Amino acid sequence: MKPVITIDFDCCLAFESVQNTGWIVMGTGVLKPIEPVIAYVKRKYAKGFELHIVSFREEKDKQEMIDFCKQQKLDIASFTCTSSKSKTPFLKALKSTLHIDDSLSVCLGAEAAGIRTLFVDFGQLKDDSQKELASSLGTIRVQLD
Ligand SMILES: [Mg+2]
């Protein structure tokens, strides 16, 4: 059996590009790849890891993730939509050895269950105590623009 890596989708593999009209900033509905994370999981895949997506998304929003991963030539073994339910039980069921996520609370929950995590940092943490907590986790820094 191959070792499993689980990956969040939104703000981890992909982010929605925004348009700044000068008056307001709006989402365009277009997903853009987050290259450093995609390159990282492709390297892991080449080393023999199996990749699974675990997202807070609803089931109805699954196809968009499948299409995006196909476009990015990512070979994903399964897509799980937790519909905002805690990810930890799903990560355990998949026997995840590493979970990659931009949510600090998801990372801390997984670590508490003995699953190593990689925190995707795009500057979303504003609070010093949160930054302190994140500093104990492995981190990939990315820029979303
Ligand atoms: Mg996310």
Average pLDDT over the chain reads 95
Whole-structure pTM value: 0.94
pLDDT in tens, 62-91: 999 999 999 999 999 999 999 999 999 999
Percentage of the chain beyond pLDDT 90 is 88
In the predicted structure, residue 18 carries a pLDDT above the cut 90: no
Confidence band, pLDDT 50/70/90 cuts, at residue 111: very high
Ligand 1 centroid to Cα of residue 2, in Å, is: 25
Domains of the chain: 4-141 (3.40.50.1000)
Ligand 1 centroid to Cα of residue 98, in Å, is: 15
Ligand 1 centroid to Cα of residue 21, in Å, is: 25
- Give the per-residue SS3 of the chain: CCCEEEECCECCCEEEEEEECCCCEEEEEEEEECHHHHHHHHHHHHCCCEEEEEECCCHHHHHHHHHHHHHCCCCEEEEEECCCCCCHHHHHHCCEEEEEECCHHHHHHHHHCCCEEEEEECCCCCCHHHHHHHCCCEEEECCCC
